[in-house]
Structure 1
């Protein structure tokens, strides 16, 4: 009885260790691994094993910025079961990494959080960092922007109830022009909205102030345009050179 009480407050309870198949993934890719569970000093009822894909994003309140954890996706990987005292058990799992998972560039960590839902006890957990790299479609866009002279300056996940979709945040990739658009733009922010068949982009085009009217427009944040555009996988297979021409046409209309 005393051991059961200790387990209920986390002493002598079950422990877990999640092992992922590999450390690097692309959004939309299948994540596979195994959760290793070791029973504690008493038998415990496990309601479920929950895996969550987590990241961090920036919020601002009263001119103060702070970091908050954000959940990208949540997955339950097994039905309820009874874990005997001292028992070792392995639970394999697989899930699709959500398409909206941020890329781990700049200040955007991503990790898989594992939680064991123990009835009447403290839930043990485990965190495993992963690297999230661009998909081939995203790489085509990034290469096209490089051809147009845009250099990545910053990448952050920021709170946005309007642009985040089902999530309260969105990853913004901030580029500065170095050649073609250097005298026309202050910066270009790019947001990815990938899916299986296409890649949607939101471009935030920040025009450089030119003249008094442009100066006042900049002061009132009226110098920014938000542009949505979509490219199918077939269009993206044409390569970065062709895409660079299309992006240049779009940006020029708002520069």
Structure 2
């Protein structure tokens, strides 16, 4: 699930909004820090290649979809999808958003060089170590909202699958699955890397993770989002990877390389439609 990580050292996070329709807490913080440092203050894994799981959450949070409910029509050329991409285009043009690949974003934030980063909560443990080593403060926030619309995060795709056909191997795989989804396994997974428990009840009072969550409030924004979680949508047919790349390229071109968001997203949707038919 996506979350926003915030780093700061004594900052108030209040300033004039740089972008009109994205979460005021995030935009105000980014605007203030960029104004203060003269450098881009925010990175988002959602708008680069490999971040489609996160971008789908941003689309949904702004009333857009990448695929129709009946799985027949590509919809990332809609007005709402274009508006979502255009928001990040404005942030880049205003000097707030960085243009870096996934690894560079991750490393820059972990080193405290970037103040705001949107990524999976699976990386939170590494960021906590970076903050401790670098002497800066780490905080967390839910996925950004668009105006007064509800935030709709998507799962980043973690799962267990059984492909064995041999009964003995199936039995062994099932035993592993049962353990890996057990409270004991999630005590280890959640406390070591910051990833969410499979069942939110584990973090309720009396649950095995209650004391840990109370002592580590950075996980709470993601727990708050569990009830709104939607699945990461796959594309029909044999061209899933190509469709995903068409979308990623269109987003990068529109956000970072001066392409018109409306024309670029519309053309990408048309190309992707041909790939799934």
Alignment TM class, shorter chain as reference: under 0.3
TM-score when normalising by structure 1: 0.26
Instruction: Name which structure has the greater RCO, CA cutoff 8 Å, separation 6+.
Output: 2
When Rg is computed on C-alpha atoms for both structures, the one with the higher figure is 1
Whose strand fraction is larger, Structure 1's or Structure 2's? 1
